[in-house]
């Protein structure tokens, strides 16, 4: 992935992707059961978090166009730290990071989804920044 610039032609750290909107994070998770890409929204003010989630829900068709994948939505999810987050995510199930034979499938999934997500975010970021700052 290091050879792939972002949609804005900037060099990007794909694993620690900087969204530029402090309330919006892209998370990657790979373990013995799945590989996943998560757009996570968290805010102390749940009203702003809901507005961000509603915007992502409205933009879901555009996100699907860029990634060619069906994204799942969770409006409120309590995570281990006790915070409530909203999540939009895509997972590749039945892969195991510990099996070298699964690495090509994991890499292919992450690469395609990240590049599409980056194109989507490059176009839509300003809308989410505006909502987050309100």
Q: Answer whether residue 18 shows pLDDT above 90.
A: no
pLDDT band at residue 99 using 50, 70 and 90 as cut-offs: very high
Largest Cα–Cα distance of the chain, in whole Å?
A: 47
- Say how far apart CA 52 and CA 42 lie, in whole Å: 9
Best CA proximity match to 59, nearest among 132, 126, 124: 124
- Residue 18 belongs to some domain of the structure: no
- Residue 115 belongs to some domain of the structure: yes
Task: Give the single-character DSSP code of 101.
Answer: G
- Taking only the tens place, the pLDDT of each residue in 66-86 is 998 889 999 988 877 777 889
Average pLDDT, the chain: 88
Q: What percent of the chain has pLDDT over 90?
A: 62
Q: Indicate the angle between helix axes 103-133 and 46-58, nearest 10 degrees.
A: 120
- Residue 111 belongs to some domain of the structure: yes
Total structural domains within the chain: 1
| Total-model pTM | 0.86
Quick one: CA dihedral 10, 13, 14, 19, positive or negative? negative
Domain span at 36: 24-133
- Residue 108 belongs to some domain of the structure: yes
- Residue 3 belongs to some domain of the structure: no
């Amino acid at each position: 992935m290091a050879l792939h610039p972002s949609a804005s032609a900037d060099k990007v750290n794909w694993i620690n992707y900087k969204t530029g909107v402090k309330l919006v994070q892209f998370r990657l998770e790979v373990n013995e059961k799945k590989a996943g890409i998560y757009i996570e929204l968290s805010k102390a003010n749940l009203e702003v978090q809901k507005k961000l989630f509603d915007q992502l829900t409205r933009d879901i068709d555009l996100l699907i166009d860029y990634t060619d994948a069906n994204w799942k939505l969770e409006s409120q999810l309590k995570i281990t730290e006790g915070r409530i987050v909203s999540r939009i995510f895509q997972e590749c199930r039945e892969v195991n990071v510990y099996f070298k034979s699964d690495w090509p499938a994991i890499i292919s999934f992450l690469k395609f989804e990240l590049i599409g997500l980056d194109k989507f975010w490059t176009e839509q970021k300003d809308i989410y920044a505006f909502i987050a700052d309100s």
